[in-house]
Amino acid sequence: MVRPGGRSARVQESVHAAVRDLIAESGRDALTVPQVAARAGVTPSTIYRRWGDLQELLSDVAVERLRPEAPPEDHGSLAADLAAWTELFLDEMASPAGRAYIRDALLGDPDGSNAGQCSAYAADQVEVVLARAVARGEAAPPAETVMDRVVAPIMYRILFRPEGLDAAYARRLAAEVLA
C-alpha cells in the first residue's frame, strides 16, 4: 500500500529542506536550482518541472514557513486573546525572516495562490480567536472586519510603510477593532 502522492510529498520535503539549509548556510543570493537539486538528491529537471523556476520554489518554501505552528493561545477573553495574537503576528511578520518570507511568497506567485494561502493562515487564526469568544458568550466582530482592521494594516505597513511597527501598535489595532 503506497500512499498516493507519497513520492511527490517526499520530493517536496527534501527540496524544501535543501532550500532552507542552503539559505541558512550561504544566504539566498547565491542559491541556484542545480545546487538545490544536488543537495536534495533530485535532478534539476525535477525542480523545473514541478516549480517552474527558483522564484516559484522560494515562494512555496516561504508559504510553508509562514504556516502557523499552533492555534492562538487562550487568555480567557476576546480582548486578551486578540491582543496577544496580534502582537505575536506582528512580531513574526515584521521580523527580518518574516519580511523575507512575505516578499518571497508574493514574488514567485504568478496566480496569487500563495499570497491567498498566507492570508488564509491569518484568517484561520482570527477565526479560532473569534469562535472561542462566541463560545464564551462574548460579542465578536466578523472575521473580515478583523482582517481589514488588524491584519491588513500590519501587512501593508510591513510592505509599504515600515516605521512604527511595535507591540503598542499591535495592541492598539486589536483594541480598536473591539471598541
- Long-range CB pairs of 165-173 (<8 Å, 24+ gap) are 165/90, 165/94, 166/90, 167/87, 167/90, 167/91, 169/90, 170/83, 170/86, 170/87, 170/89, 170/90, 170/91, 171/83, 171/86, 171/87, 173/86, 173/149
Site for a copy of itself contains 148 (CB under 8 A) = yes
Which grid coordinates are listed for 128? 479560532
Q: How far is the CB of 123 from a copy of itself (least distance, A)?
A: 8
Site for a copy of itself contains 11 (CB under 8 A) = no
Site for a copy of itself contains 83 (CB under 8 A) = no
Stretch that binds a copy of itself, among 56-64, 65-73, 84-92, 148-156 (CB under 8 A): 148-156
| Contacts of a copy of itself in 99-118 (CB under 8 A) | 103, 106-107, 112, 115-116, 118
Minimal CA–CA distance to 126: which of 68, 51, 63, 176?
Answer: 68
The count of chain residues that interact with a copy of itself, using the rule CB under 8 A, is: 23
Site for a copy of itself contains 165 (CB under 8 A) = no
Give the binding site for a copy of itself (CB under 8 A): 103, 106-107, 112, 115-116, 118-119, 123, 147-149, 151-153, 155-157, 159-162, 173
